[in-house]
Structure 1
Amino acid sequence: MLNLNMDQLHIFIRACEMGSFSAVARELGRAQSSVSHQIQNLELDLGLVLFDREGKYPRPTAAALALLPLARQSLGQLHRFQQAADSYERGEESSLNILFEELVMPDRLNDMLASFGNRFPHTQLQLSSTSGEDAVARVARGEANFAFVTSRDSYPNALDFTNLGQQRVLSLACPEHPLAQQNQSSLGEAARHRQIVTASDAHRHRWQLSAQMWSCDSLLQALDLACKGIGWVNAPYELARPFLKSGRLIELNLTNALNTWCLGVDLLCANQIPRGSAGQWFAREARRLYGNYYSPPIEITDRN
C-alpha cells in the first residue's frame, strides 16, 4: 500500500514543473539531498522511474508526466481535507439542515446563503421546503437545525424561537386574467374567480376566498399554473420576483384586506443541539436579514 503524503506530492509536482531538484530545495529551504530522497522514496513506492537523471538536470519521464495531473488533483483534495478538518476542530458544523415554509421564504435568502458558502465552505447545507407542522416536528426531534415558519402561539419545549418580523404575501395573476385587466378589484370580484391555494389544511381557511379552488402542494407549481391563466394565487415576493420581473405575473390591486395579508415569521432551532460557529452566524444573519428586507407589520383593516 502506498504511503503518500502532501509533502511528497508537492515535491514531485514542483520537480516536474521546475526541472531541477536543487531549485525545489531552494524554494522549500531544504537540502537538495532531502528533496532527492523524497523523490527516490516515491519511485520505490510506485515501482516507477519518474525522472531521467542522465543529463545535467532531471527530466520527468513519460510516466511522471502522465501522473502529474493526478498528483495535482490529489494534492488539492488533501489540502481541502486538511482545511475541512481544521474548520471542524474550530467548532464549525459539518452540516446544517434548514427548513422553511414556502409562504414565508425569506427575501434575499439565497444572497445570505451565498455569503454563508463563502464564509463556511466546509459546512454542507440541506435546504428543504415543507409544511409548518412538519418543520416544527422535525426541529423538535432534532432532525433539523433551523426552520422559518409562520408564527404560532406556542411551540414544544424542545424548541427555541425568535420572531423575525412580518412577511407580506402578494396576490398575483397573469396579465390576461380578468382581475389583472382592472386598475382595482374588490374582494368580492376576486372571490368569483378560481383561486390556487397552497396552504396546509390547517391554515387553508385563512387563505381560501373563492369557492372555485385548486389545491397545490408546491408554490412554484401554483405560480406556474397562475401564469397559464388557471387562477390567481398568493405568494411571497421572493418566490414571485422572477415571475414579476419577466412579466408573466403581475400584482393585483385589491381594494381591501386581501392585498395586505401578511404573516408573522419565526425562526426555530432545536435547543438540544449545540450550536457551532456556522449555526451562530446563520441565526444572527437571519435576524439581520429580516430586519433589513422585510416590510414592517402592516395593519390589516376591512375597508368594506
Structure 2
Amino acid sequence: MLNLNTDQLHTFVRACELDSFSAVAREQGRAQSSVSACIQNLELDLGLALFDRSGKFPHPTAAAMALLPLARQALGQLQRFQQAADSYQRGEEPVLRILFEELVMPDRLNDVLASFSQHFAHTQLQLRSSSHHQAVQSIAKGEADFAFVTSGGSYPSALEFNTLGRQQILCLATPDHPLAHQQPSSLREAARHRQIIAAMEEGQQRWQLSSQVWVCDSLLQALDLACKGIGWVNAPYELARPFLKSGKLVELKLTSALSAWSLDVDLLWSAKTAQGKAGLWFAREARRLYGNYYSPPIDKSDSY
C-alpha cells in the first residue's frame, strides 16, 4: 500500500497547474530542491514518471494529467475528513436520529432542516415516522435522540420532555360536500356522513363520530381520500394547511366542542444522553417552530 501524504498530493497538483517547480517553491515558501525531492519521492512511490524534465521546465506527462483530477478529488476528501473531525472534536454529533408521530409533524419542518444543514454540514440526520409507543421505547432504549409525539401523560423515568405547544384539530371536507353547504352543521348531521379516520396505532381511533367509517394508518392518505369526496376527516392544522391553501378541502364548522379538539405536542429525549451542539441547536429551533405555529390563535391566512 502506498504511503502518500497531503503534502505530496498538494505539491503534485500545484506543479501540474503551474508547470514550474520553482513557482511552486515560491508559492509554498520552500526551496526548489525540496519541491523536486517531494515530486521525485512521489514518482518512486508510484513507479511512474510524472514530469518530463527534458526541456527548460518540467512538463506533466500523460500519466500525470490522468492522475491530476484524482489527486484533486483525494485532497478534497481529505479536507472534508479533517473538517468533519474538527466538527466532532468541537462537540457536534456525527448523527442525530429524530422520530415523529405523523399527527405532530409540522408542515414547515423542512425550513428548520434546511437551516440545520447550513449550521452543521457534517451531522447526518435520520428522520423516521413512528407510533407514539414506538417513539417512547426508542428514546428509552437509546435508539433515537429526539421524538415529537402527542402528549401522553407520564413517561419512563429515563426520558425528559418539554410540552412544545398545542395543535388545533380541524374537521375537513371538500367544498362540495353536503356538510360544507350546511355551516354550521350539527353533530347529528355530521354523524350521518362517512368519516375517514386515521388509526395511528392498533385499536387507537381518535375523534370518531360517525358509525360509517373508513380507517387507514396514514393521516396523509386519509386527507387525500377526503379530497376525493369519500368522506370528511379530522386532521391537525399543520398537516391540513396545504389542502386548505389549495382549496381542495375546507374547514367544517360543527356546533359543539368537537370544533375545539386539540393535541398537545411533546419533545422527548433521553435523560442519560448528553446533547452536543447540534442536538442543543435542534431542540431550541424545534421549540421555536412548534411555539410559533402551534400556539393559539392559529392564523389560516399565513403564507408558506
TM-score between both structures, scaled by the size of structure 1 = 0.89
Q: Which amino acid aligns with 2:239?
A: L
Q: CA deviation at 1:3?
A: 1.4
Q: Is 1:85 the counterpart of 2:91 in the alignment?
A: no
Alignment pair present for 1:232 and 2:228 = no
User: Structure 1 residues 33 and 194 mapped into 2: Cα distance closer, same or farther (>3 Å)?
Assistant: farther
RMSD: 2.2
Could you give the per-residue CA deviations for residues 145-198 of structure 1, whole angstroms, max 9, x where no partner exists? 111111122111010011111112233233343333455433333222222212
In the alignment, structure 2 segments of 5+ residues that lack a partner are 299-304
Deviations 1:87-144 (A, max 9, x none): 1111111111111111111352211111111111111111111111111111111111
Gaps of at least 5 residues in structure 1 are 299-304
SS of 1:127's equivalent in the other structure is strand
2:288 partner letter: R
How has the CA–CA distance of structure 1 residues 55 and 267 changed in structure 2, closer, same or farther, with 3 Å as cutoff?
same
2:40 matches 1:61: no
Distance 1:212 1:177 in 2: 16
CA distance in 1, matches of 2:150, 2:297: 14
Q: Report runs of 4+ in structure 1 exceeding 4 Å deviation.
A: none
Aligned 8 A contact 1:194 1:212 in 2 = yes
Distance across 2 between alignment mates of 1:181 and 1:22: 84
Q: What amino acid sits opposite 2:191 in the alignment? A: A
Q: Is the 8 A contact 2:198 2:206 kept in 1?
A: no
Structure 2 vs 1, CA of residues 73 and 172 (structure 1 numbering), >3 Å: closer, same or farther? farther
Distance 1:27 1:189 in 2: 83
Query: Aligned runs of 1:99-138 on 2, under 5 Å?
Result: 99-138=99-138
Deviation sequence 1:249-283 (CA, Å, 0-9, x none): 33334343333321111110011112111111111
In the alignment, the residues of structure 1 paired with residue 135 and residue 129 of structure 2 have an alpha-carbon distance, to the nearest angstrom, of 9
Q: Are 1:107 and 1:237, in contact at CA under 8 Å, matched by a contact in 2?
A: no
Give the 5 Å matches for 1:272-291. 272-291=272-291
Distance 1:230 1:59 in 2: 74
Deviations along 1:206-226, one digit per CA (max 9) or x if unpaired, are 421221112211222222222
Aligned residue in 1 for 2:249? 249
Corresponding residue of 1:302: none
Whether 1:161 and 2:161 are equivalent positions in the alignment is: yes
Q: Given the superposition, is the C-alpha separation of residues 208 and 201 from structure 1 closer, same or farther in structure 2, using an over 3 Å criterion?
A: farther
Instruction: Specify the SS of the correspondent of 1:269.
Output: strand
SS of aligned partner of 2:152 = coil
Task: Give TM-score, length-normalised by structure 2.
Answer: 0.89
